[in-house]
Amino acid sequence: MSTNDTRKSQLLSLKLRALVRDHLARSNDDGIAPAVFARGAAVIESGNSWVLVEKQTSRGLGPALLWSLKEGASTLNVLAESGTGILARQAAWLDFPITVWHVNDRTLIPAVAEPFPDERQPSTEHAAFVPLIVQGGATPVVEHGIVAGEVLGLEVCRVVDDPVTGAARLEVGMGAHDREAFAMLHGDKPKVDALADVVKNVKQHRRPGALPHPFNRIAPERMLRAVILDAPKMVGAVSLDVCDPPMRRTNVLDITPCVARGKTFDGGDVVVLVTSGADPDIVPFALDARAFVDHRHGSVSELRIAMATGHVTPTNRRALGFARHAATFVELDISTASSS
């Protein structure tokens, strides 16, 4: 940790102790024991944990819960200056005593659960590009109204509106900067041909078990979802389709859990949450995703969290034990998996 990081951590610890002290109407810090929390600061007071989330606040409930469980705390108080509406909503899906507080200067205000985002459908103009995406060899994927094309989970094109004319157009590339550069270099090439070239190049490297390459390092969670969609029995489902996560992905380079929904072999509804790595926030995010999908579709679904073998931590398993409704981890060996 750098000197600046150490100083910032100390300041956050002082801030948290002052907030807790004022909230509990204490005259001093007696009984308020500071502790280390990587995403902000934490203290233990009479067996209760108080955690100030300063980094990635909307995905801070999981790390705070895991920390509290490791410390043996009986209750969890989560404090943040932003994103508290999402944290309060997520806390409702867990049978663990959690209170979320919004920090307003020196005052703690009980957070109010934020409603789920409204459903967004692509415009007719955007949806019209789906056949072209298929013709170019990519898989059409629609999330939160955005039409894109993927190769085994890697976005290679997206439908956007021209900033000047407002007309819909298909841009080829991975991410906004890559699409802009691609247009400058290959702007006169027919879109279907340009897309087909990119798809062909990506397919050489974008597959489970391939040698390391930038094309298979980006969005590993979406590659796993693509494999599962082609072989739903891997997670005990007979069929699965892509569906929206409760929070929109803002950067193709970020590892963001993705979602699918479908039917089990006994005809029940199932939501599959797919992620990569030992994500400390996976349990609250997954429970929120299941609630989001059921809210939209009027269903009551079982939740299955799919991760690569060895990525499920004991503390995450313990956290999932507090889920209000049926939820399980499914560990997958993707090195031997294949996708058509």
Percent of the chain's residues with pLDDT above 90 = 80
71 and 150, same domain (yes or no): no
Band of residue 320 on the pLDDT scale cut at 50, 70, 90: very high
The yes-or-no verdict on residue 337 having pLDDT over 60 is no
pLDDT confidence of residue 335: 63
Q: Could you tell me if residue 208 is inside a domain? A: no
Band of residue 340 on the pLDDT scale cut at 50, 70, 90: very low
What does the pLDDT look like over 72-104, one tens digit per residue? 999 999 999 999 999 999 999 999 999 999 999
Q: Could you tell me if residue 30 is inside a domain? A: yes
277 against 239, higher pLDDT:
239
91 and 27, same domain (yes or no): yes
Kindly state the tokens that stand for 161.
């509106």
Kindly state the tokens that stand for 179.
């699409």
Q: Could you tell me if residue 246 is inside a domain? A: yes
Least confident range of 51-55, 180-184, 278-282: 180-184
pLDDT confidence of residue 185: 65
146 and 191, same domain (yes or no): yes
The answer to whether residues 63 and 84 touch, using CB atoms and an 8 Å cutoff, is: no
The answer to whether residues 92 and 100 touch, using CB atoms and an 8 Å cutoff, is: no
Q: What CATH number is associated with residue 236? A: 3.40.1350.10
The yes-or-no verdict on residue 339 having pLDDT over 70 is no
Give the HSE-up count for residue 272: Cα atoms under 13 Å, Cβ half-sphere. 32
248 and 142, same domain (yes or no): no
Last residue within a domain, chosen from 203, 237, 272: 203
88 and 135, same domain (yes or no): no
95 and 54, same domain (yes or no): yes
pLDDT confidence of residue 227: 94
235 and 136, same domain (yes or no): no
In the DSSP assignment, the letter for residue 144 is T
The yes-or-no verdict on residue 152 having pLDDT over 90 is yes
Mean pLDDT of 177-188: 71
Q: Could you tell me if residue 88 is inside a domain? A: yes
The DSSP-derived string for 218-273 is S-HHHHHHHHHHH-GGGGTEEEEEEE--SS----TTS---EEEEEEETTS-EEEEE
Longest dimension (CA), the chain: 72
Strand partners, 172: 157
Band of residue 338 on the pLDDT scale cut at 50, 70, 90: very low
Percent of the chain's residues with pLDDT above 70 = 95
pLDDT confidence of residue 151: 96
Q: Could you tell me if residue 209 is inside a domain? A: no
106 and 8, same domain (yes or no): yes
99 and 136, same domain (yes or no): no
pLDDT confidence of residue 115: 97
Place of tokens 């490297």: 205
245 and 194, same domain (yes or no): no
Q: Could you tell me if residue 303 is inside a domain? A: yes
Distance separating alpha carbons of residues 3 and 200, to the nearest angstrom: 47
pLDDT confidence of residue 278: 86
175 against 300, higher pLDDT:
300
Domain extent for 281: 219-336
261 and 325, same domain (yes or no): yes
The one-letter amino acid code at 287 reads L
88 and 183, same domain (yes or no): no
pLDDT confidence of residue 1: 57
| Mean of per-residue pLDDT scores for the chain | 92
Last residue within a domain, chosen from 46, 78, 110: 110
Q: Could you tell me if residue 212 is inside a domain? A: no
Q: Could you tell me if residue 170 is inside a domain? A: yes
CA distances from 168 to 16, 125, 165, 294 (A): 48, 6, 9, 32
Mean pLDDT of 135-160: 96
Last residue within a domain, chosen from 84, 110, 136: 110
Kindly state the tokens that stand for 143.
């999330």
Number of domains in the chain: 3
